[in-house]
Amino acid sequence: MSDTGNAAARDTDAPLLSVEGLSKTYSSGRRLADRLTGRAEIRVQAVKEVSFSIRRGEIMGLIGESGCGKSTLGRTILRLHEPTAGRVIFDGADVTALSDDQMKAMRRRMQIIFQDPYASLNPRRTVEEIVGLPLRLHGLASGREDLRAKTAAIVEKVGLKSAHLDRYPHQFSGGQRQRIGIARALVSHPEFIVCDEPVSALDVSIQAQIIQLLTELKQEMGLTYLFISHDISVIGYLSDRVAVMYLGEIVELGSAEAVLSNPRHPYTQSLMSAVPEVDRPGHRNRVRLSGDLPSPIAPPPGCRFHTRCPLAIDICRREAPKVETVGPGHTAACHRLHENLSLLEEEEPA
Ligand code: SF4
């Protein structure tokens, strides 16, 4: 990296990660599709033409209900799942075009913290073996002692003790196991982390501790997060910017302040209506969406949200809305944006 002032300014301004038209479609085998549906193939479009960027040091919150494609998006960015279309640019390099060897080297810089600390740790390995594996894979430790010292250092940084190195995952609580998962993700000193619902499987009191830990580690280690959650309170607390996902598409994106205080998409408004507002004299009508998230095997035509949207009109059933700018750095995709309709009417207190 150049050491000139101008280059430094460019580096700070440039996004660390850009996602450009990223799509992920899964196809079933012929035999399974034929048995289940009589069709030659079942195609599941889990992520559709998603674009956004994340600046270095930023936390991008990704919110949406279960099954909307959030985790698939996170994993496709890291090429844990291969994209069907689109590109991922990380620090100037096209991740989607890297060879297997180049991708292996890139994984040191791009890591993931998984949702389920119970399932993501090998029960037959000690903490030292689990956390030290990335050091071994990337040749980042020179010998047994160095590996143990580096593993002990990161284990202590996440709030465990070096005495824990020889224990097995079943000897820890849920919160401690998630700390082990965080240590494994951070031991190779990555720059970018996909935090895939890292607190969803934990008790509420433990959630707060893990969120605090992730916030401190971000500052201390200069990290950039894509933070995935279905909990808008968690997303609102942590995020600099927020992307709202519905059935594989980003329907609204902007600063956390803009999206959460002035949500423009009816789906975002429905998510916001579920947040209790204890400080306000009135409270928001709870918007109850009818039905479940449609299947990504047969997504609705037009606007994918039209089957559940209280504001849907004819055009919504025929045409997909375009992404429009609704404020500085704030975009949304809805045919009725210019009517300034809102599902968030205030109710008078009883
Ligand atoms: Fe609702 Fe129509 Fe807007 Fe989609 S385009 S969110 S169906 S109003």
Q: To 10 degrees, the CA torsion angle through 300, 301, 303, 306?
A: -50
From residue 87, how far is each of 20, 80, 325, 341 by CA, in Å? 5, 14, 23, 35
What distance in angstroms lies between residue 317's CA and the mean position of ligand 1's atoms? Answer: 9
What's the CA gap between 231 and 241, in Å, rounded?
Answer: 15
- Please give the number of the atom of ligand 1 that sits closest to the Cα of 303: 4
For residues 262 and 327, is the Cβ–Cβ distance under 8 A?
A: yes
What is the reported pLDDT for 2? 35
Q: Report the atom number in ligand 1 closest to the C-alpha of 321.
A: 5
Tell which one of 313, 319, 339 to mutate to probe ligand 1, the residue whose CB is within 8 A of the most ligand atoms: 313
Q: What is the pLDDT of residue 6?
A: 40
| Structural domains of the chain, ranges and CATH numbers in brackets | 2-109+190-339 (3.40.50.300)
Interval between CA 263 and ligand 1 midpoint (Å): 14
- pTM to 2 decimals? 0.90
**286-314 tens-digit pLDDT:** 777 877 888 888 899 999 999 999 999 99
Which ligand 1 atom is at minimum distance from the Cα of 317? 7
Q: How far is the CA of 301 from the centre of ligand 1 (A)?
A: 12
Residue count of the chain, please give it: 350
CA distances from residue 3 to 10, 222, 228, 309 in whole angstroms, order as listed? 11, 19, 34, 52
- Alpha helix segments (H runs only) across the chain: 5-13, 30-37, 70-77, 100-107, 127-137, 144-157, 174-186, 204-221, 232-238, 256-261, 266-272, 314-318
- Ligand 1 centroid, distance to 308 Cα (angstroms): 9
Please give the structure tokens belonging to residue 108.
């040191």
Residue to mutate (ligand 1; options 334, 337, 338; most atoms within 8 A of CB): 334
Contacts of 199 (CB under 8 A, 6+ apart): 178, 206, 207, 210, 211, 229, 234
CA of residue 88 to ligand 1 center, whole Å: 29
Tell how far the Cα of 61 is from the centroid of ligand 1, in angstroms.
23
Q: Which of the listed residues 245, 335, 337 should we mutate to test ligand 1's pocket, taking the one with most ligand atoms within 8 A of CB? A: 335
Question: What's the pLDDT at 3?
Answer: 36
101-140 CB burial, b ≥16 within 10 A, e <16: eeeeebbbbbbbbbbbbeebbeeeebbbbbbbbbbeebeb
Distance from chain centroid for Cα 116: 14
Instruction: Give how far the C-alpha of residue 192 lies from the chain's centroid of Cα atoms, to the nearest Å.
Output: 12
Q: Which residues contact 34 (CB under 8 A, 6 or more apart)?
A: 40
Pocket perturbation via mutation, ligand 1, pick of 245, 265, 305 by most ligand atoms within 8 A of CB: 305
**CA-proximal residue: ligand 1, atom 7 (nearest):** 306
| Cα–Cα distance for residue pair 172/175, rounded to 1 Å | 8
Tokens at 34, concatenated: 């034929």
Dihedral Cα 212, 176, 191, 242, nearest 10 deg: -50
Counting Cα atoms < 13 Å in the Cβ hemisphere of 156 gives 8
Say what the alpha-carbon torsion angle 84, 90, 95, 97 is, to the nearest 10 degrees.
Answer: 100
DSSP helix/strand/coil, 88: strand
φ, ψ of residue 256 to 5 degrees: the values are -60, -40
Residues in the chain predicted with pLDDT less than 50, given as ranges, are 1-11, 350
Q: Whose CA is nearest to atom 3 of ligand 1?
A: 334
pLDDT of res. 136: 95
Q: Which residues approach ligand 1 with their CB closer than 6 A?
A: 266, 303, 305-306, 309, 311-312, 316, 321, 334-336
Long-range contacts at 106-109 (CB < 8 A, ≥ 24 apart): 107/78, 107/138, 108/134, 108/138, 108/140, 108/188, 108/189, 108/190, 109/188, 109/190, 109/191, 109/192
